Amino acid sequence: MGHDHHNHSHEANESNLKRVMVALVLTGFFMIVEVVGGIISGSLALLADAGHMLTDTMALALAAMAFHVSKRPPDGKLTFGYQRFQILAAFVNGLSLLAIVGWILFEAVMRFINPNEILGETMLVVAAAGLIVNLISFGVLHTGDQENLNIRGAALHVAGDLLGSVAAIVAALVIIYTGWTLIDPILSVAVAALILKSAWALVKRSAHILLEGAPEWLDVHMMQDRIVAGVPGVGEIHHVHIWGLTPQELMLTMHMSVNANVECQSDVVRDTKKFLRDEYGIGHSTIEVDVDGCSDD
């Protein structure tokens, strides 16, 4: 079972890495087009989207690197292996997005104070091309493994880009038909607000894992009660610690006492481990059996 799971996750990683690389090439190339288009047309909405695409390119490069690094086997220095690198990448990613939001808001305020001329046609052409590129990237990433925080982070970035392109198209059409240039910074702020929401969620989730938090869906007290009720021979459970290397790779350590009438303690431990694996997907558990009271007290 373990070996199949390992092979499966290795294949999933390979497929995730390929998806990220495709999106990376598309996004990186188009970001340059958008910067040039934004400067020529004078549009903040395009530059905001290009700024977003810049963090995307960094994000996707980080994600690709994370998939690559996390394939390394555990060694003497990092005994749990390198999978946590993916979470670190997601965290840095989220922070970089927050910085971009700050920059867009600052620029938008400057535009409100001091509006500038914008070439609507140039803006429209670039934004429309951007929409097509983003749709392709999003399609590639969205069909990947959505449980993987790294892929989710990358897909969130591209989804933000999609919205950025739509906002730029709307702004360009308004400018062409009405000449009202303030629509440009207004829509830039709307894009920034959308980026902010997804960035904050990503930072929060990855920080929770980096702080060794228990999975959000898991009620530890209820789990203890279920083990005592469901595994014959288990007396009492305490000192439970649960965390994840990634949202998929859960770890647990705990102490338990075994009822006096049990003949073989290791059978109870084995049954408990099986229960944890089957019911909660916890593949790596370390269980200390207390004899004559808890040895840590």
**Model confidence band, residue 10 (pLDDT cutoffs 50, 70, 90):** low
pLDDT per position as a tens digit, 145-157: 666 777 777 787 7
Cα distances (Å, whole numbers) of residue 249 to 81, 243, 244, 280, 284? 11, 9, 5, 11, 8
**Coil vs helix vs strand at 38:** helix
CATH 1.20.1510.10 residue ranges of the chain are 2-210
pLDDT at 2: 46
Residue with the larger pLDDT of the pair 142 and 5? 142
pLDDT at 134 over 80: yes
Q: What is the mean pLDDT of residues 284-294?
A: 83
DSSP structure class, residue 262: -
Backbone angles phi, psi at 56, to 5 degrees: -60, -45
CATH 3.30.70.1350 residue ranges of the chain are 220-290
Residue type for position 110? M
pLDDT at 81: 75
What are the helix and strand counts (H, E) for the chain? Answer: 8, 3
pLDDT at 121 over 80: yes
Residue with the larger pLDDT of the pair 5 and 182? 182
Q: What is the mean pLDDT of residues 198-202?
A: 82
CATH number of 2-210: 1.20.1510.10
pLDDT at 1: 43
Cα distances (Å, whole numbers) of residue 57 to 15, 101, 159, 167, 241? 19, 16, 13, 20, 37
Rounded distance, CA 211 to CA 213, Å? 5
Q: What is the mean pLDDT of residues 202-230?
A: 87
Contact 57, 29 (CB under 8 A): no
pLDDT at 187: 85
How many of the other CB atoms lie within 10 Å of CB of 193?
Answer: 12
pLDDT per position as a tens digit, 161-178: 788 888 889 989 998 999
CATH number of 220-290: 3.30.70.1350
pLDDT per position as a tens digit, 26-63: 888 888 888 888 888 888 778 777 777 777 777 778 77
pLDDT at 16 over 90: no
DSSP E strands in 153-275: the ranges are 234-244, 250-258
Rounded distance, CA 279 to CA 169, Å? 49
**Model confidence band, residue 128 (pLDDT cutoffs 50, 70, 90):** very high
For the chain, what is the mean pLDDT?
82
Q: What is the mean pLDDT of residues 78-105?
A: 83
pLDDT at 146: 65
pLDDT at 177: 92
Q: What is the mean pLDDT of residues 78-99?
A: 82
